Amino acid sequence: MRIAGITIPEDKRIEIGLTAVYGVGRSLAHDILDEAKVAYSAKPKDLSEAQETAIRDIVTALAIEGDLKRETAGNIKRLKDIQCYRGSRHTQGLPARGQRSKTNARTRKGPRKTMGSGKKKVEKK
């Protein structure tokens, strides 16, 4: 089963398989399945053609995958363009939501960069 160009895993429950689509989490997957009247525990390989079509129609009406990524990137670009505080934090690659960055914040800052020991190495003759 393919939705929005993403292959849904055949052996996982449909509520978990739908989360393979970017922008669809567990709660949204539950809402989609409720609207399509499909059981959460059903496997994608066991669904009928009508159920697959109903799920596909609901999902394509949502902002997912490329559209959602483009929208998110546009929001960040807007913050950078108006040069607000949050935009500058995105530009510098630092946390944008008020977290401490003197220590921690390694996910955003990347691995620690040290300048070495400060001692000059003596050449051996």
* Count of CB atoms situated within 10 Å of the CB of 40: 14
Average pLDDT of the chain is: 90
pLDDT given at position 3: 85
- Whether domain 2-62 has CATH 2.120.10.30: no
Q: Which two tokens stand for residue 123?
A: 């050449």
Alpha carbons 13 and 47: distance in angstroms, whole number:
11
Bridging pattern class, strands 6-7 and 2-3: antiparallel
Q: How far is CA 95 from CA 16, 35, 84, 114, in A?
A: 30, 37, 14, 21
Name the pTM for this structure: 0.72
pLDDT given at position 39: 93
CATH of 66-109, one of 3.40.630.10, 3.20.190.10, 2.30.40.10, 4.10.910.10: 4.10.910.10
Is a pLDDT exceeding 90 seen at residue 115? no
pLDDT given at position 77: 97
Is a pLDDT exceeding 80 seen at residue 124? no
* Count of CB atoms situated within 10 Å of the CB of 32: 22
Read off the pLDDT of residues 29-51 as tens digits, 9 standing for 90 and up.
999 999 999 999 999 988 899 99
Phi, psi at residue 50, to the nearest 5°?
-65, -40
Query: Which residue's structure tokens are 């009508």?
Result: 50
Phi, psi at residue 88, to the nearest 5°?
-65, -35
- Give me the residue spans of the domains in the chain: 2-62, 66-109
Read off the pLDDT of residues 58-77 as tens digits, 9 standing for 90 and up.
998 998 888 999 999 999 99
